[in-house]
Amino acid sequence: MSTATIPPTALSSAFKQVCARRFSLFTGTSNHLKCRGRWRNLTVKMSAVSDPLEVCVKASITTPGRLGDCPFSQRVLLTLEEKHLLYDMKLVDLANKPEWFLEVSPEGKVPIIKLDQKWVTDSDVITQSLEEKFPEPPLGSPPEKSSVGSKIFSIFIGFLKSKDPSDGTEQALLSELTSFNEYIKENGPFINGKEISAVDLSLGPKLYHLEIALGHYKNWSVPDSLPYLKSYMKTIFSMDSFVKTRALPEDVIAGWRPKVMG
């Protein structure tokens, strides 16, 4: 038997059924405050379940105790969820970084995860490391598909920050979204075909930011002429793992405000 400390907000999908039997599992003190965070944890004894992985992500700037608006943090959490791994989510206030966080992440960046007693940074490195360490279920995709949709995020940012309606940034975004729409039409419903992959888990959070930020600051939305893209977004956004790990819309709006107003 092993003992793990898991915040209720960070229980992975694999643990939901265990939680449903909580009254038969809880032992000792059911609630205690974690010394490095402000949320409450549940102490649960379990067998045949590995200790949760420690992962630091951005905290909400609008609602205490909620996940923040970092799409790279969500990408890592989505990977953990889709691989059905237990994790201990530590919410970090990036405007007031605690000393314990700077000790494990000297550059003060999130996401960061502890794997094999080492702290690993960068969402690309983290997700690849998770794929290698926990290969089931597989989320990898062929190298030629890894760049599908990769330009959308940077082009979206250019359009979002643009003050000149005639500078071509909107058309550039429409062109890139149209290319993705055609790709999904021919190869979907996901980038790698029938099954979701790491590429979708990277792009999904970015499209979520695109939808909310452009809707708020530009009164702009994905046109109906791109039905396969819209269907793709709806499918990704409605996944249980995505709903569980998404930022609040108000956090997305607040997070992009400095770039839009600056």
Contact between 109 and 97 (Cβ < 8 Å) = no
| Dihedral, CA of residue 112, residue 113, residue 117 and residue 119, to nearest 10 | -10
What sign does the dihedral 187-192-197-201 (CA atoms) show?
negative
Please state the separation of Cα 98 from the chain's center in Å.
22
Give, for 153, the enclosing helix (H) or strand (E).
helix 152-161
19, 35, 56, 70: the active-site residue: 70
Query: Could you tell me the CA-to-CA distances from 46 to 6, 18, 26, 90, 222 in Å, in that order?
Result: 12, 9, 9, 21, 46
Whether residue 70 lies in the annotated active site: yes
Length of the chain: 262
Which residues are part of the catalytic machinery?
70
